[in-house]
Amino acid sequence: MKKVMMGNHAISHGATLARVQVIAAYPITPQTQVVELLSEIVADGKLKAEFIKVESEHSAMAACIGASSAGARAFTATSAQGLALMHELLHWAAGARLPIVMADINRAMAPPWTIWTDQNDSLSQRDTGWMQIYCQSNQEVLDSVIMAYKVAEKVLMPIMIVLDAFSLSHTYEIVDLPDQALVDKYLPPFDYKYKLDVKNPHTYGGLTTPDWYMEFRVKMHEAMDQALVEIKKEAGEFEKIFGRRYDTVDPYLVEDAETVLVTSGTAASTARFTVDQLRAQGKKVGNLRMRVLRPFPFADVREQLKNAKKVIVIDRNISYGYHGIWAQEVKSALYGHSKVPVFNFIAGLGGRDIFPETIADIVALVDKKKKPDQELYWVEVKR
Amino acid sequence: MKPTLPLEELMSPGHLACQGCGAGIAMRVTLKALGQDTIFTFPACCWTVIDGPFPYSCLEVPLLHMAFEATAATASGIKAAMDALGKSKTTICGWAGDGGTFDIGLQALSGAAERNDDIFYFCYDNEAYMNTGIQRSGATPYGAWTTTTPVKHFKKEAKKSIDDIVAAHKVPYQATASVAYPEDLFKKLVKAKDIRGFKFIHIISPCPPGWKARPEDTVKLARLAVQTGIYPIYEVDGGKYVQTMKTPNRKPVLDYLKLQGRFKHLKESDVADIQKMVDTRYAELEKRFSEK
């Protein structure tokens, strides 16, 4: 059934279709509609779930950890400061090997106070052990929540579904709402092998000496490697049932492109619009949309960028004193495999629009250069 | 002789508690009252260590170790899952020390109490951060030495009244208890187990290394804490205060203080100040005990 809905409601519907059993959440703009709609759905009895209205994001994640440990499918959603407050427990959820799914609506970090989008909130949680999936449409958001449980429950690692504040969270698009029966077929109920069970009591997370700590960590890393296999497998499985395909990366006209624009989130849609315009002018430009941050799809990135003469990474984030974060990731993947020059542009922080002209200007600038003459370029900044 | 408590043990020997640890007794009695159909979550606290290092555990019930400030919210999450999975009969317990309750875990505690989540929240109170080496907490009493309140600058603030803070949430049941009176604790827990909603149990649990006391004095100290009126034991059942261990002839606080090295620097005038503080607090509670 096709419906017009905002990105935030696409998350709520995704969680409902995934039959989540425990929701714990705390309000923060721009995430609020996710949990407002979910609380209505639960109160109306349309989803059989417990909804804990906690007093902080830290407690939201703590409750999800408790619920998931007890064997329930747990869900939460947050943004920016809320995600940062959870930081300690993001490590905990991953270290405890819990298949929790969370939506993060990308909002820039304060100060100064802001509610608009950029990716520094989620990207600074890169090393917590959470998978991260960046979406560009409301359909992808809904589908990704459902797929997230499938992958998370296979490898026992948590997943963050990430979308831009306002330009996706509050933007209405047509979304195909899948049939519950089909979702049930795709995503069966989950029986957590390591749940808290009074009939088979175990202790989880106890004090561990240097003799064993690394063994837990290597298993997490191997689970992430396996997650990459599962994500690629599920791209096919999901497509078979629902007719839509989501892989680790999403290429657009890259095959013969001399210059490839690497983007993520909604900036990718804008980049594609610009690619079409530039192609009409005869310029061989393509777009590679990064969808999965962790586990990082090294092989796919290398494969998609193998023909490029120049790579432009547009980062809606910044690692102060270094590069944009996607640029670091892409360069690291290419190192030793390719000599293609990588140009890094920082754009759209704190919700500033990235227009087609912004991207066209970036491409024009890069056209004049053989290789980068700066570590990174700030776009359209007042000085 | 008929035993006053069940003989069944859900806590095994071989745990890592110090000699004379009050927190060990508190857990042992609690498990006797709550039984096998119980799940615990611990934050960082002495019990993180007492339970035993991976892969060992001295508890015969499921246990989830968790971050320091997260006890109550974690227990709420476990409870919600058990409700969602049709296992509502299982008793869910958060079990934290005083630092994890009075200080860093207070927000989550207040949240769960306000929501009236159907869980037990236990605070075994040894009156400082004992696990990290005896640093002062909001539960450390006036006058005490700790490693962050050295003798020259002993603790000048009174113990935070956590019981009053919880009472302000008007929870269905709360109680104070002492490891010197296991039957009293047992009775309270058996009663509370059948009460739906938030239950707060605060257990005074002497710590020989932290209190600079002899291990064999643990029970004596826990008893004197009650008999001096420093730590009256009572319950608040549906808003009604009932003193469960009456102390008509209260002993002087000095009897309690003098057995502990953490108070040995105190002058006579300091002891008199403490006596006065205890008397005032006791009179306040007596008023509540006498309310019909």
Tens of pLDDT along A151-175? 999 999 999 999 999 999 999 999 9
The pLDDT value given to residue A325? 98
How many Cα atoms are found within 13 Å in the side-chain-facing hemisphere of B198?
A: 23
Query: Does residue B15 come out as left (phi exceeding 0), alpha (psi in the -120 to 50 range) or beta?
Result: beta
Nearest CA in chain B to A194: B62
Q: Which residues share a beta bridge with A161?
A: A103, A133
Residues of chain A with CATH 3.40.50.920: 250-378
Number of Cβ within a 10 Å radius of residue B111: 23
Mean pLDDT over all residues of chain B? 97
Residues of chain A within CATH 3.40.50.970 domain(s) are 2-242
How many angstroms separate the CA atoms of B43 and B103, rounded? Answer: 13
On whether the CB atoms of residues A137 and A167 are closer than 8 A, the answer is: no
In-domain check, residue B195: yes
Written as six digits, the tokens of A40 are: 């209505």
Q: Which residue has the tokens 């509502």?
A: B88
**CB neighbourhood size of A370 (10 A):** 9
Given a contact cutoff of 8 angstroms between Cβ atoms, the answer to whether B159 and B132 are in contact is no
d(CA A316, CA A297): 20
* H/E segment holding residue A281: none
| Whole-number Å distance between alpha carbons of A162 and A131 | 10
Q: Does B118 touch chain A (CB under 8 A)?
A: no
Option in A22, A53, A202 nearest B77 (CB): A22
pLDDT single digits (tens) A192-239: 999 999 999 999 999 999 999 999 999 999 999 999 999 999 999 999
Mean pLDDT of A168-183: 98
Distance (Å, whole) CA A54 – CA B151: 41
CA distance B208 to B286: 30
Judged by CB atoms within 8 Å, which residues 17-46 of B form the interface with A?
A: 36-39, 41
Q: Using the beta-carbon criterion (under 8 Å), do A67 and B37 form an inter-chain contact?
A: no
- Per-residue pLDDT of B239-261, as tens digits, reads 999 999 999 899 999 999 999 99
Q: Would you say residue B86 lies in a domain? A: yes
Superfamily (CATH H level) for A2-242? Thiamin diphosphate (ThDP)-binding fold, Pyr/PP domains (3.40.50.970)
Interface test mutation site (partner A, options B65, B131, B198, max chain A beta carbons within 10 A): B65
* Burial category of B268 from C-beta neighbours within 10 Å (exposed 0-12, middle 13-18, buried 19 and up): exposed
Q: Are the beta carbons of A272 and A314 closer than 8 angstroms? A: no
Question: Does B140 fall in a domain?
Answer: yes
Q: Is B249 inside a domain boundary? A: yes
Tens of pLDDT, residue by residue over A114-138, are: 999 999 999 999 999 999 999 999 9
Mean predicted confidence (pLDDT) in B78-94 = 98
Angle at A358 between CA A357 and CA A359, to 5 degrees: 90
pLDDT at A45: 97
Domain annotation covers residue B220: yes
Record: contact A22-B41, CB cut-off 8 A: no
CA distances from A27 to A55, A108, A257, B259 (A): 9, 16, 44, 51
For residue A1, pLDDT over 90 is answered with yes
Residue B111 lies in a domain: yes
Whether B110 and chain A come into contact, CB under 8 Å, resolves to yes
Query: Inter-chain contact B52–A206, Cβ cutoff 8 Å?
Result: yes
> What average pLDDT score do residues B27-33 get?
98
Buried b (16+ CB within 10 A) or exposed e, A235-252: beebeeebebebbbbbbb
Q: Which value, to the nearest 10 degrees, does the dihedral of the CA atoms of residues B14, B15, B20, B21 take?
A: -170
pLDDT of residue A57 exceeding 90: yes
CA nearest neighbour of A319 among A358, A357, A349: A349
| Interchain CB contact of B128 with A (< 8 Å) | no
Average pLDDT, chain A: 98
Q: Is the pLDDT of residue B292 over 80?
A: no
Q: What is the pLDDT of residue B220?
A: 98
Residue-wise pLDDT for B99-115, tens only, equals 999 999 999 999 999 99
> Which class is A250-378 in CATH?
alpha beta
Q: Which two tokens stand for residue B154?
A: 């002993």
Instruction: Using a pLDDT cut of 70, give the percent of chain B over it.
Output: 100
Q: Tell me what pLDDT residue A264 has.
A: 98
Residues in chain A within 8 Å Cβ distance of B83: 50
Is the minimum CB–CB distance between B116 and chain A shorter than 8 Å? Answer: no
- Which of B61, B83, B111 is the closest to A55 by Cβ? B111
Q: State the residue for tokens 């059934």.
A: A1
User: Residues of B with CB below 8 A from A190's CB?
Assistant: none
A22 vs B48, B62, B84: nearest CB: B84
* Domain span at B285: 22-290
Count of domains observed in chain B = 1
Residue A54 distance to chain B (closest CA, Å) = 7
- Report yes or no on B9 lying in a domain: no
| Tens-digit pLDDT profile for residues B153-191 | 999 999 999 999 999 999 999 999 999 999 999 999 999
Q: Is residue B183 part of a domain?
A: yes
Instruction: Measure the CA–CA gap between A309 and A16, rounded to whole angstroms.
Output: 45
pLDDT of residue B1: 84
DSSP letter (8 states) at residue B123: E
Q: Nearest-CA residue of chain A relative to B108?
A: A59
pLDDT band at A255 (very low <50, low <70, confident <90, very high): very high
Judge: A65–B36 Cβ closer than 8 Å, yes or no. no
Tell me which residue in B70, B83, B117 faces A89 most closely, judged by beta carbons. B70
Which CATH number is B99's domain given? Answer: 3.40.50.970
Percent of chain A with pLDDT over 90: 100
Per-residue pLDDT band at B50 (split at 50, 70, 90): very high
Structure-derived torsion over alpha carbons of residues B200, B202, B203, B207, reported in degrees to the nearest 10: 130
d(CA B110, CA B87): 25
With CB atoms and an 8 Å threshold, state whether B84 touches A48. Answer: yes
Q: How far is CA A78 from the centre of its chain?
A: 13
Q: Which among A67, A196, A212 is the nearest to B62, CB-wise? A: A196
Cross-chain residue pair A201–B60, CB shorter than 8 Å? yes
Q: Which of B103, B74, B236, B253 is nearest to B163 (CA)?
A: B236
User: B217 and chain A: CB distance < 8 Å anywhere?
Assistant: no
Q: Are A6 and A138 in contact (CB under 8 A)?
A: yes
The amino acid sitting at B171 is V
Q: How confident is the model at residue B33 (pLDDT cuts 50, 70, 90)?
A: very high
